[in-house]
Amino acid sequence: MVKAPDDWQGRGVLSVCPGAGDGVWIGTEGAGLYHLFGKEAKPSIETNGLSNPFIWSVLEDRQSKLWVGTWGRGLFVRQGDFFQSPEGVENSAAAVLALYQDRQGAMWVGTQSGLARWSNGQCTWFTRKEGLELPDVRAITEAADGTLWFGMSGGGLGRLKEGKVAQFRRPSGLANDFVWSLLAENNGTLWVGTFGGGLCRFRNERFATISTREGLPNNVICHIADDGQGNFWMSSYGGIFRVSKDELNRCADGRLKTVNCVVYGKADGLSTLECSGGFQPAGCRTSDGRLWFPTIKGLAVIDPAGVKINPSPPPVLIEEVTVDDQPVSLPGPGTAAKLRIQPGKHRFEFRYTGLSLIAPEKVRFKYRLDGLESDWVDVDTRRVAYYSYLKPGDYTFRVTACNNDGVWSEEGAMLAFTVLPWFWQTWWFACGAVLAGTGAVGGAVRYITRSRLHKKMERLERQRVLEKERARIAKDIHDDLGASLARIMLLSQSDRAEGEDSQQVVTRLGKVYLTARELTRTMDEIVWAVSPHHDTLDSLVNYLGKFSQDFLNVADIRCRLVVPIQLPAWPLTAEVRHSLFLAFKEALHNVVKHAAATEVRISLTLAKSGFSASIEDNGIGFDPATVGAAATTRDPLRIAGGNGLANMRKRIEGIGGECRVDSAPGKGTTVRFIVRVEN
């Protein structure tokens, strides 16, 4: 790790680029600009005009001009010892996240609002107006044919070719729409590092993805660097790792299932595993061949030429085998004896190890159980394999290991064993059982199938007849009884107007009107209860809510409804709906008549086994222990005859539910109906 005298002021390093000579420029998250010349990075004193210490991108071009992109203050370029905004982008206050100079010397600038090309004082923008979606540009590179590629955070991969802009996202095959790093090879291959989707290769207009499933240590690729020795070095949220370019291509072509990565972490000198990404340049290669990677806790530098490869693969040894937690004796080395496992065993554990004196903690393993698995299982550094319920038969357990530099042992270790069968698991017993049972099973299956089909048809027919009859009853009640009662109401209102001189007629007709109105409401309740179209929880809740509001508004009592936005499609029988409605109506009637409440809160709560409906008032309350006593004539649950609580409980228990009452004098009353639903 590169040191700074002020320890970077405790801030993260975001961007790094080569400078003139052997120098390196470094941008930080709030600590300003640093210049490394020699072994120690020092804060740059040449910051006249550079008013923002949040340096998200820094680049020294081929004309030795230093370009600095800041967060919220736009782009700066150093002229002598003074920084100023380049002509054409003086008013840009956008965050500058990426800088790149193409072969013609033009400077490309990536911002949150799009891509800009600056050359000879002229600035050309590529934004939403040019058809880009989410043009938050984080990475830029140029292909050998002059095509410009740029990665966006959320907008995927962009291409500018012959003045035309194209965009590639998930539907095109890209693994992730958040592109943080790019590397273009001379053969036309483009490597794309994403935030969360791993590494993608774009070749011949097709994407291929390599992620942790194929052996990468992390799916966040912050920077990709070519060391010129056939390897890619990548920074990530899981450290810095090296991988063979040839293996990457073979894996992308489908000729290799996993790639071998050599990971460098804290044990190798990194102060943190999280590297910085989402900015450019987020890494660089200097003229001496060294690779530089910014991290959230400083600047890391690696010399690929000085990395020594450990050529010796670790020898592998199977140390112990346990069956149902009991160790078994292993055959001696070099013997041809096969381990025999008695029948009825369930849990198998194979413990193994790899011997390495250089970095034993980095020895990785993969194993395979011939007879069960055809592919190797990569378990990283785990040194035990588990299997359960192996069928009787012959197996061979194989395990191999690689050292810290990914050199795999060709031979590994192996153990052959046989799981013995019970007598009923032998082939001769199975054949006999099949022959003996074929006839019986065939007859039984035919009988059971016909019986089930017959019962199902009968059940469907009964249900069809019942639904048809319920629909007919509902229609008849609505058409005949409803029309007649409506006519009675109209006639009674007319007679009241004509008989105003007779108080007796007025009283009688008023009773007729009230009776007819009550009958109409009762008819509506009956129609709702028997109609099969309302056999759902949603219909029940809507009806109870409307009834509560209408009923309580007449009594000048506020009604608050608390109901889930989405209700499950639970079927409710007419009996359940009818009984719950009558109990609900009875509870509201008692509130209006006895509770002296000003507000009622009605709520519905869902559970896995059903639902509960609660009626909570702010009335005078009562002592539930005294319900039924003569002194409790003002109890909210005492209806005529003193059976209000018993009636409600009887109705709810009749449908398999439960009625709970919670009250205290002066603290209101809560009645809760718990209904179980078979769904």
Q: CB-side exposure of 33: number of CA atoms within 13 Å?
A: 27
pLDDT, position 225 = 95
pLDDT for residue 73 is more than 90: no
CA pair distance 121, 651, nearest whole angstrom: 86
Selection from 275-289, 349-363, 531-545 with the highest mean pLDDT: 275-289
Choice between 35 and 633, residue whose per-residue pLDDT is larger: 35
- Fold annotation for 535-676: Heat Shock Protein 90 (3.30.565)
pLDDT, position 645 = 79
CA pair distance 218, 216, nearest whole angstrom: 6
CA pair distance 173, 197, nearest whole angstrom: 11
- Beta-carbon contacts of 450 under 8 Å, excluding residues fewer than 6 positions away, are none
C-alpha of 449 from chain center: 43
Give the number of other CB atoms < 10 A from CB of residue 303: 11
The secondary structure of residue 152, as a DSSP letter, is E
Q: Are 489 and 513 in contact (CB under 8 A)?
A: yes
The pLDDT tens digits of the residues spanning 112-131 come to 989 999 888 888 889 998 88
pLDDT, position 151 = 96
CA pair distance 176, 134, nearest whole angstrom: 14
Is beta strand 339-341 parallel, antiparallel or unpaired with respect to 413-419? parallel
Among 445-454, 467-476, 597-606, the range scoring the smallest mean pLDDT is: 467-476
Among 547-556, 559-568, 632-641, the range scoring the smallest mean pLDDT is: 632-641
Rounded average pLDDT over 347-359: 89
The pLDDT tens digits of the residues spanning 10-21 come to 999 999 999 887
Choice between 433 and 322, residue whose per-residue pLDDT is larger: 322
pLDDT, position 188 = 93
Give the number of other CB atoms < 10 A from CB of residue 594: 20
pLDDT, position 470 = 67
The pLDDT tens digits of the residues spanning 135-180 come to 999 999 999 999 999 999 999 999 999 889 999 999 999 999 999 9
Query: What three-state secondary structure class fits 114?
Result: strand
The secondary structure of residue 155, as a DSSP letter, is T
Q: Are 487 and 493 in contact (CB under 8 A)?
A: no
Rounded average pLDDT over 374-396: 91
Percent of the chain with pLDDT over 90: 44
Among 519, 469, 465, residue whose Cα is nearest residue 492: 519
Terminal C-alpha separation, the chain: 62
Q: Where are the domains of the chain?
A: 7-306, 316-425, 427-533, 535-676
Q: Are 529 and 581 in contact (CB under 8 A)?
A: yes
Among 244-248, 265-269, 352-356, the range scoring the smallest mean pLDDT is: 265-269
Q: Tell me, what amino acid is at 655?
A: I
Among 201, 203, 226, residue whose Cα is nearest residue 214: 201
pLDDT for residue 192 is more than 80: yes
Distances (CA, A) of 472 to 283, 468, 475, 531: 79, 6, 5, 9
* Residue 77 backbone dihedrals phi, psi, to 5 degrees: -135, 140
Superfamily of structural domain 316-425: Immunoglobulins (2.60.40.10)
- Fold agreement (7-306, 316-425): no
Q: How many helices (H) and strands (E) does the chain have?
A: 7, 41
The secondary structure of residue 554, as a DSSP letter, is H
Please provide the DSSP assignment of 615-664 as one string: EEE-S----GGGTTSTT-TT-TT--GGG-HHHHHHHHHHHTT-EEEEEE-
For residue 250 the two structure tokens come to 């073979």
If 0-12 CB within 10 Å is exposed, 13-18 middle and 19+ buried, where does residue 88 land? middle
Rounded average pLDDT over 575-603: 89
State the pLDDT confidence band at 679, using cuts at 50, 70 and 90.
low
pLDDT, position 633 = 41
pLDDT for residue 481 is more than 80: no
Instruction: Please state, rounded to an integer, the average pLDDT across all residues of the chain.
Output: 85
pLDDT, position 639 = 39
pLDDT, position 334 = 64
Among 35-39, 89-93, 419-423, 622-626, the range scoring the smallest mean pLDDT is: 89-93
pLDDT, position 629 = 46
pLDDT, position 640 = 37
CA pair distance 481, 525, nearest whole angstrom: 13
CA pair distance 417, 340, nearest whole angstrom: 6
CA pair distance 91, 86, nearest whole angstrom: 10
Please provide the DSSP assignment of 298-336 as one string: EEEEE-GGGPPP---PPPEEEEEEEETTEE-PPPPTT--
State the pLDDT confidence band at 311, using cuts at 50, 70 and 90.
confident
CA pair distance 537, 613, nearest whole angstrom: 12
Q: Are 342 and 417 in contact (CB under 8 A)?
A: no
Kindly report the CA angle at 251 between 245 and 254, in degrees rounded to 5? 145
Beta-bridged to residue 439, according to DSSP, are: none
The pLDDT tens digits of the residues spanning 490-516 come to 656 654 445 455 666 666 666 666 666
Rounded average pLDDT over 423-448: 81
- Beta-carbon contacts of 51 under 8 Å, excluding residues fewer than 6 positions away, are 73
pLDDT, position 161 = 92
Upstream peptide bond of 18 is cis (omega within 30 degrees of 0):
no
Selection from 93-102, 113-122, 275-284, 635-644 with the highest mean pLDDT: 275-284
pLDDT, position 404 = 82
Selection from 67-76, 295-304, 629-638 with the highest mean pLDDT: 295-304
Among 79-93, 286-300, 475-489, 492-506, the range scoring the smallest mean pLDDT is: 492-506
Domain 7-306: assigned CATH number: 2.130.10.10
For residue 114 the two structure tokens come to 């799009």
